[in-house]
Structure 1
Amino acid sequence: MVTIRKIEQQDLPALSQLYDELIGMPANVDQMERMFRFIAENEQYYLLGAFHEGKLAGSVMGIECMDLVGECRPFMVIENVIVSQHVRKQGVGQKLMAEIERIAKERNCGYMILVSGDQRKEAHRFYEKLGFGDEKVQGYRKHFD
């Protein structure tokens, strides 16, 4: 059984392990705790966890962004999508993404947007099955060290 709920302070150690799986390096736990407090206090951030048999098995973060174009509807940016390799292909990711989409629609978002590294082909197939990809766009990132 999979339960989706907001990530809480006590979930941060398990979330840190998931993020290590995502990016291949451990999180700065002190900084993570500071940023978590900011996120928890900001209603435009949605940090969700998927709990499989009581353990954190996946996570997604959505950020509601305001827009000044057209109907001026907000949009949802999706980031840090991860499902532990131990429970992939069991519907965990689908449940996470369905819940963040439900929130986006509830907030009257016009669309959701995400980027995924070019090398993550399995993730791309997953996103396409969820309806992403109808509109092919080029994504760019500029990283700061």
Structure 2
Amino acid sequence: MNIRTANERDLPAIVRLLSEDELGSTRELITDPLPAAYMEAFARIQHQRGNSVLVVESDDEIVACLQLTLIPGLARKGMLRAQIEGVRVDGRYRGRGIGEQLFRHAIDAARREGCGMVQLTTDKSRADARRFYEKLGFAASHEGMKLMLT
């Protein structure tokens, strides 16, 4: 198993992972080739300092992913935060500790960059994900809100 920063060749596998659950299946679009919007978004991620997609590769197959974004801010005495989103582990590989290893890698990367906090949100319908995050030490300390613009 290898954890690394994603590249353009990984995009079809990442989008597949993002689409492989009840919520993602209604939000993502799997076509060959992928819609240009995915390539454009990935290019923006690559060009923004402190923004990356991490993947887990096993036997030349992408089996997990997450996006790690470093967020500078003024609050908390100018604390740098890390935001984790887009977390997915292929259903065939769940229960093997892959998600935990990926999270530990991302948390260590955030720590090395000087982050004082790692934060994430999870959909209220994802009880298993919430239990997983709590097992890793995350606390449900805030109520999240979103305003969809499109």
Under TM normalisation by the shorter chain, which class is it? over 0.9
2:144 paired residue among 127, 139, 142: 139
CA shift for structure 1 position 10:
0.7
**Over residues 105-134 of structure 1, what are the superposed CA-to-partner deviations in whole Å (9 max), with x where a residue is unaligned?**
01111101101011101111100110001x
Structure 1, gaps ≥5 residues long:
none
Matches within 5 A, 1:25-104: 25=26, 26-27=28-29, 29-104=35-110
Could you tell me how far apart the structure 1 residues matched to 2:76 and 2:129 are? 31
Q: Residue 121 in 1 paired to residue 137 in 2?
A: no
Deviation at 1:46, TM superposition (A): 1.8
Equivalent residue pairs, number: 143
Gaps of 5+ in 2: none
Shift in Å, 1:70: 3.3
Give secondary structure in 2 for the equivalent of 1:46: strand
Q: Aligned residue for 1:24?
A: 25
- What is the CA–CA distance in structure 2 between the aligned matches of 1:94 and 1:141, rounded to whole Å? 27
Percent of residue pairs bearing the same amino acid type? 24
Q: Distance in 1 between matches of 2:35 and 2:97?
A: 29
Deviates more, 1:68-77 or 1:24-33: 24-33
Question: TM-score, normalised to structure 1's length?
Answer: 0.92
1:9 counterpart residue number: 8
- What is the CA–CA distance in structure 2 between the aligned matches of 1:53 and 1:120, rounded to whole Å? 28
Work out whether residues 66 and 75 of structure 1, in 8 Å CA contact, stay in contact via their aligned partners in 2. yes
TM, length-normalised to structure 2: 0.89
Q: Provide runs of 4+ in structure 1 moved above 3 Å.
A: 25-28
